[in-house]
Amino acid sequence: MDEQTALALKSFTTRYCDEWQEKNNSWPMSEELYGVPSPCIISTVNDAVYWQPQPFEGEQNINAVERAFDIVIQPALHAFYTTQFAGDMPAQFANETLTLLQTWSEDDFRRVQENLIGHMVTQKRLKLSPTLFIATLDNELDVISVCNLSGEVIKETLGTRNRTVLASSLADFLTQLKPLL
C-alpha cells in the first residue's frame, strides 16, 4: 500500500473531525447516511447519524477494478479506497469546492468498485485514458480524479478530454485539502 497516501488521508480526516468537533462539539454528522449500516456510526439522532472513521476491513486493494480491465491501478488509489471507512467530507482545494468520497462500509466498497468500473468502461468506449474518481464537484459533469497513467490528480469533465492537473500526486492533493464545514 502507498503509505504516503494513507497517511495524508488519515491526516486530512483528523483535521476534518477536529474542526467539526471544535465547531459542533461532536463527531461529524450526516443526514445522507442515515439508515445506511456502517462500522463508523457512533449514534443515530432523529434523521441523522454521527460517525467516526474506522480502519478498513477486508482486502486492502481495488483488484476488482484491475481484473475488469486487466490493468494495474496506481498504488495510491488502492490506499485511498482501503485506508478507512468514513463519511464523505466536504473540502476546499485551491478554488475548488468538493466532496471527498469515502467508503462507508464493506457493501459501499463493493458499490464504489462497480461505479469505478462503469466510469472506466465509458472512458474506454470514448478512447479516453483511464482515471478513477475520488471527489465530486457541484457541477455534476465535473469530478476530481486520479490519472491512472501519471498518478496526477486532475479535474475532469466526464465524457470529454477536458482535464486540468491539480496536484502531482494523491498524497500531495490530500495534504493541501482544507476541511469545509
Q: At what angle do helices 106-125 and 75-82 cross, to 10 degrees?
A: 150
- CB atoms closer than 10 angstroms to residue 58: 11
- For every residue of 135-169, DSSP letters joined together read EEESSTTEEEEEETTT--EEEEETTSS-EEEEESS
Which pLDDT score, from 0 to 100, does residue 44 have?
95
Sorted by where each starts, the structural domains of the chain and their CATH numbers stand as 3-24+56-179 (3.40.1580.20)
d(CA 108, CA 114): 10
d(CA 110, CA 160): 26
Residue 70 CB partners (closer than 8 Å, separation 6+)? none
**Averaged pLDDT score across all residues of the chain:** 95
- Is 1's pLDDT higher than 80? no
Segment 27-73, tens digit of pLDDT = 999 999 999 999 999 999 999 999 999 999 888 889 999 999 889 99
pTM, two decimals, is: 0.95
d(CA 32, CA 95): 25
